[in-house]
């Protein structure tokens, strides 16, 4: 038996029966993996208190010939983000980020940037909510994650030129086509379904993907602008996923 190990974040947990769990992880070394945790709900020594979404863990697992699932062997806590778990809005926000990750990150496709993005956002958000931050800070973390997530998986929208004819967007007046993946000029937009996005929103989204998490506390933006940015990017995510995410519909802030 070849036991593998890696730092990891839980993306989702599904109950299989009275005791077993099916757990999706994003790992540092192996990308997204799906683990079967035998007797996990009854095994206090191996798993108790270590199967929380807002937590970085070190897991050990192995694979058996003929099985598509990895077998979870051992879990140890590395970093806990307890402030997130205590704040309902922060917890709802990371639930959305994890649903996105589960749907759009390919299995066993190592992407260290996604792992590091999750860790950076968890650490920053945990500090922020521990200092009694406002709702806008949670929105900024959400926007930071989604913007960079799109960049890291290769579907960040094109804002610089018309996606169809390559005309440069020098005047910042283009509308946007989700289907075409970015800006379209007025001529090309005639036959497409498009949406409007203020230039202020474009600047904020671009700022998010060209900065680290320190930009979140420095950014001065109205909540409605942040929501416009997030809703726009969520439309892109839903298009590529082929369906709307449950957490997008349940989030009453929007």
In order along its 254 residues, the chain shows pLDDT tens digits of 688 999 999 999 999 888 899 999 999 999 999 999 988 887 767 788 889 888 999 999 998 877 778 999 899 999 999 999 999 999 999 999 999 999 999 998 889 999 999 999 999 999 998 887 778 999 999 999 999 999 999 999 999 899 999 999 887 778 999 999 899 998 999 889 998 888 889 999 999 999 999 999 999 999 999 999 999 999 999 999 887 787 777 554 43
The reported pLDDT for the residue numbered 252 is 45
**Spatial contact of 41 and 21, defined as CB atoms under 8 Å apart:** yes
Q: What is the pTM of this model?
A: 0.91
The CATH number given to whatever domain includes residue 104 is 1.20.1440.120
- Which of 59, 80, 101 is the C-terminal boundary of a domain? 80
What is the rounded CA–CA span in Å between residue 18 and residue 52? 18
DSSP 52: -
Measured between alpha carbons, how far is residue 196 from residues 21, 229, 234, 237 in Å?
44, 11, 14, 17
Same domain for 109 and 207, yes or no, is yes
Same domain for 154 and 243, yes or no, is yes
Range of the domain at 245: 82-254
How do 70-80 and 31-37 pair as beta strands?
A: parallel
| Main-chain dihedrals φ then ψ at residue 110, nearest 5 degrees | -60, 125
Same domain for 194 and 218, yes or no, is yes
The reported pLDDT for the residue numbered 45 is 73
The CATH number given to whatever domain includes residue 18 is 2.40.50.140
Same domain for 44 and 170, yes or no, is no
Same domain for 141 and 182, yes or no, is yes
The reported pLDDT for the residue numbered 41 is 81
The reported pLDDT for the residue numbered 253 is 43
Q: How many CA atoms lie within 13 A of 112 on its CB side?
A: 2
Same domain for 120 and 54, yes or no, is no
- Which of 80, 113, 136 is the C-terminal boundary of a domain? 80
- Which of 80, 109, 137 is the C-terminal boundary of a domain? 80
How many domains does one find in the chain?
Answer: 2
**Spatial contact of 98 and 12, defined as CB atoms under 8 Å apart:** yes
């Amino acid at each position: 038996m070849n036991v593998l190990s890696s730092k990891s974040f839980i993306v989702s947990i599904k109950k299989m029966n009275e005791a077993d769990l099916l757990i999706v992880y994003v790992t540092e070394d192996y990308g997204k993996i799906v683990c079967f945790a035998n007797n996990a709900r009854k095994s206090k020594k191996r798993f108790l208190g270590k199967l929380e979404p807002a937590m970085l863990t070190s897991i050990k697992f192995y694979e058996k010939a003929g099985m598509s699932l990895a077998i979870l062997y051992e879990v140890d806590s590395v970093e806990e983000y307890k402030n997130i778990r205590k704040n309902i809005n922060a917890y709802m926000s990371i639930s959305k980020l994890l649903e996105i990750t589960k749907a759009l990150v390919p299995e066993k496709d190592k992407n260290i940037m996604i792992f590091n993005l999750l860790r950076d956002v968890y650490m920053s958000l945990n500090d922020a909510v521990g200092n009694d931050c406002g709702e806008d800070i949670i929105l900024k973390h959400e926007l930071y994650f989604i913007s960079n997530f799109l960049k890291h998986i290769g579907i960040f929208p094109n804002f610089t030129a018309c996606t169809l004819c390559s005309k440069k967007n020098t005047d910042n007046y283009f509308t946007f086509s989700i289907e075409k993946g970015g800006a379209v000029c007025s001529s090309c937009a005639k036959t497409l379904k498009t949406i409007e996005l203020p230039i202020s929103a474009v600047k904020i989204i671009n700022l998010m993907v060209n900065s680290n998490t320190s930009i979140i506390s420095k950014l001065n933006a109205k909540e409605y602008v942040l929501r416009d940015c997030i809703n726009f990017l969520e439309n892109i995510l839903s298009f590529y996923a082929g369906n709307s995410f449950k957490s997008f519909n349940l989030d009453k802030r929007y």
